[in-house]
Amino acid sequence: MPKLTLLLGRRVMQAYDFKQPSIIVGRDDAADVIIDNPSVSRRHAEIRLGDNGWEVEDLGSSNGTFIDNARIEGARSIGLGDEVGFGKFSIVFGKALGEGEVPVATPNPMADRPAPAPAPVAGTPGTMHINPHEVKELLKEADRKKRAHFVWESGGQRGTHYLSDQPAVLIGTDDLCDLRVPKGPKHHVLLMTLDGGTEVRYLAVFGSMTVAGQGTKRSRLKNGDVVESQGLTITFMDDVA
């Protein structure tokens, strides 16, 4: 019987070992994998044991069922490690937590560790349930990570700042800074969001910073730009569409 890993985006929601030969995914309370989210239909897809092995079939869902980013028509065979997508969610077939790596997108140094898996609903063995509040919070967090932010490194420490949380941030070693770092200018580096982008400024009369290897006191940032000044390194990541 299959072992499945349920993902929201690239976050592991739960691993499960089903015992039945047919698994219904959908919003309906009678589904085996219940996901209360508008992107998932009430009876969205079925994973079942067919004559030639395991297969998946879309059940007439609004948003479709996908394998390798291609929408499937009719029943499609699936094997160990295949990822089946539906709505904002996906299921990795044949793997459970601790039995191998879940396929991931391009590595992101700012990515958080996966959240602890929620427990199955009491009294309903064999069923996974993702409640609406949990989905809402995870989608909110996933959207937040797509917004402009930067990763800072200083004195052996590292952190991430989201500009959606604070659109202007003064960075330095001084207590008055919005973001205090162990090594770098005292209070001279300012990042701020403006119409159409993000800008970095070096506020002191003397000295400067480098942006993408070029010395400057003021620069409009592009995705991937690296800002360096006196032991402080900032890597800027722009909005993801």
Report pLDDT digits (tens) over 48-90.
Answer: 999 999 999 999 999 999 998 789 999 999 998 889 998 778 8
pLDDT score of 131 more than 60: no
> What integer pLDDT is reported at residue 240 of this predicted model?
62
Long-range contacts of 123-129 (CB under 8 A, 24+ apart): 126/18, 126/19, 126/20, 126/32, 127/31, 127/32, 127/33, 127/34, 128/6, 128/13, 128/14, 128/16, 128/32, 128/33, 128/34, 129/34, 129/36
More confident residue, 36 or 29: 29
Question: What does pTM read for this prediction?
Answer: 0.47
Mean pLDDT of the chain: 80
> What integer pLDDT is reported at residue 111 of this predicted model?
40
More confident residue, 105 or 152: 152
**Average pLDDT for 202-224:** 91
pLDDT score of 119 more than 80: no
More confident residue, 176 or 101: 176
Closest CA to 91 of 17, 31, 21, 8: 8
